[in-house]
Amino acid sequence: MDIRIHDLVRTYYSEGKQIRALDHVDLTIPANRIFTLLGPSGCGKTTLLRCIVGLEAPDDGEIYIGDELVFSKAKNIFVPPEQRGLGMVFQTYAIWPHMNVFDNVAYPLQTQKLAKEKIRERVSQALKFVQLEGFEKRPATKLSGGQQQRVALARALVAEPKVILFDEPLSNLDAKLREETRKELRSFLTELQITAIYVTHDRIEALALSDLIAVMRSGRIVEIGEPKKIYFNSDSQFVADFIGRANLIKGKVERLDGDHALFASEIGPVRDLNSQDIPVGQEAYLCVRPEFIRLSKDLEGAHNSYNGKVESLIFIGEAYEGEVRIGETLLTTTVDPTADFREGDTLAVSFDPDHCFLLTT
C-alpha cells in the first residue's frame, strides 16, 4: 500500500517562537519497499511519522494511505490512528515489562476481542517469523535488547498492518547488536513485502536497510533516491556531506570536451570528469569520497595526481583514517591498514574521475 502526502505543514509554537517542523512536504512512499526518512536532529522526521500515524494533526495538507484519504485540512478529515491500519515500532522497546512474551504480542488482538484459539495461532505465527518460538512464557524483562525489539516487531506485525512505521528502533542497542538486528530487520521486511517507513539520523543504518532514502532538512525533503544514488551521486552538498564523509573541492568548469569536463580546482586541474551538463564557467564543488583517494609513494605525474603531505593517520582496525594536505586543501582519506606511510610523508594523491561528481548546489 502506498502513501501519498501533499503539501503537509506542521507548525509548533514554543517560548513565543514559531517552529516549522514540516514545511510544505510533498512525498510518495511506494508500496512494499523500505522507505527511510533520514536527516539531522530536529529536521522533522518524527513529526512526519506522527502525522502519518495520526498521533499529530497537521496544520495543512493531505495524507492518503492507499486510496483512503486519512487527513485533509480542506475537507476536514482526520481518521484516528487506530483506524488507519498501521503498525508502529518505537525507539524505546515499548513492550510491557510485567507481561511475558506471549501476552505482549497477543495484546493488540486481545483488545480486538478475537477468539482465544485465533489469537494463539496468530501470535505463534508472528513469533515464528521473528525467530522467537519457544520464548512465549519468558518475562519480557528477561530478554536481550535485540530480542525485546523483535517482540515489539512481532506485536506490530500480529495485527497484520498495511504499513509498518519505525521510529529509530535500534538506537538503544549497542553497536554490534544494532548491526545484527538491522540485517535481520531488512530480511524480515523484505520477506513480508510490506510498506515500511523508517526514521533514523544514522546514515549507515539508512544505507544498509533502505530501498529508498528521503533526506530531510529544516522541515523539507531535499532529495529522494536509492542508497547508492544518494551516496555516489547526490544532488547537493548538504546531502553529499550528510550521507557520508565527503571531500568537497572548490573550483570552476574550465572546458568541455563532449561529456567530459576539465575542472580548474583549488588543488589543480582535474581532467575527464563527467560534465553532468554543467556549463563552462560554472563554479562548483567536486565531491570525492575518502575511500576513492589513493596515496602512493611514486610521485611520477600520473593522471589527476597531486603532491600532498600526510598530516595525520589514525589506525581504526580495518583501515587508517588519514588527512592529507594539498596546498591549502585538507582531504580525508581511507588508507589500507598495511600501507607503509607515516605522518609527514610527501606522497602522490590521486583519484579516478569516474568516482567523483560535481555539485552546484
Strand order in the sheet with 320-326: 294-296, 346-350, 305-315, 320-326, 329-335
Q: Considering the complex, state which of residue 132 and residue 207 has its C-beta at the smaller distance from ligand ATP.
A: 207
Asked if residues 105 and 158 have their Cβ atoms less than 8 Å apart, the reply is: yes
Q: Considering the complex, state which of residue 122 and residue 178 has its C-beta at the smaller distance from ligand ATP.
A: 178
Per CB under 6 A, 9 contacts ligand ATP: no
Return d(Cα 139, Cα 147) in angstroms, integer: 12
Binding test (CB under 6 A) with ligand ATP, winner from 1, 5, 8, 21: 21
- Minimum CB separation of residue 49 from ligand ATP in Å reads 8
Per CB under 6 A, 42 contacts ligand ATP: yes
Asked if residues 165 and 185 have their Cβ atoms less than 8 Å apart, the reply is: no
Return d(Cα 48, Cα 29) in angstroms, integer: 12
DSSP 278: P
Q: Considering the complex, state which of residue 21 and residue 101 has its C-beta at the smaller distance from ligand ATP.
A: 21
**Cell triple for residue 191?**
520477506
259-298 residues near ligand ATP, rule: CB under 6 A: none
Return d(Cα 86, Cα 76) in angstroms, integer: 21
Return d(Cα 200, Cα 59) in angstroms, integer: 24
Tell me the HSE value of 219 on the side-chain side, using a 13 A CA sphere: 14
Per CB under 6 A, 18 contacts ligand ATP: no
DSSP 118: H
- Select from 39-47, 181-189, 282-290, 292-300 the region that touches ligand ATP (CB under 6 A): 39-47
- Minimum CB separation of residue 24 from ligand ATP in Å reads 15
Return d(Cα 294, Cα 305) in angstroms, integer: 9
Q: Considering the complex, state which of residue 3 and residue 132 has its C-beta at the smaller distance from ligand ATP.
A: 3
Q: How many other CB atoms are there within 10 angstroms of residue 301's CB atom? A: 11
Q: Considering the complex, state which of residue 138 and residue 220 has its C-beta at the smaller distance from ligand ATP.
A: 220
Return d(Cα 82, Cα 361) in angstroms, integer: 42
Per CB under 6 A, 34 contacts ligand ATP: no
**Cell triple for residue 169?**
528502533
- Minimum CB separation of residue 16 from ligand ATP in Å reads 12
Q: Considering the complex, state which of residue 119 and residue 213 has its C-beta at the smaller distance from ligand ATP.
A: 213
Residue 156 CA to its chain's centroid (Å): 21
- Minimum CB separation of residue 234 from ligand ATP in Å reads 19
45-74 residues near ligand ATP, rule: CB under 6 A: 45-47
- Select from 34-42, 96-104, 145-153, 180-188 the region that touches ligand ATP (CB under 6 A): 34-42
Per CB under 6 A, 44 contacts ligand ATP: yes
Per CB under 6 A, 19 contacts ligand ATP: yes
- Minimum CB separation of residue 223 from ligand ATP in Å reads 16
Asked if residues 29 and 2 have their Cβ atoms less than 8 Å apart, the reply is: yes
Phi and psi of 144, rounded to 5°? -75, 165
DSSP notation for 305-339: EEEEEEEEEEE-SS-EEEEEEETTEEEEEEE-TT-
* Number of amino acids touching ligand ATP (CB under 6 A): 13
172-211 residues near ligand ATP, rule: CB under 6 A: 201
Tell me the HSE value of 212 on the side-chain side, using a 13 A CA sphere: 16
Per CB under 6 A, 38 contacts ligand ATP: no
- Minimum CB separation of residue 29 from ligand ATP in Å reads 17
Q: Considering the complex, state which of residue 45 and residue 122 has its C-beta at the smaller distance from ligand ATP.
A: 45
- Select from 38-46, 137-145, 146-154, 183-191 the region that touches ligand ATP (CB under 6 A): 38-46
Which residues contribute to the site for ligand ATP (CB under 6 A)?
A: 12, 14, 19, 21, 39, 41-47, 201
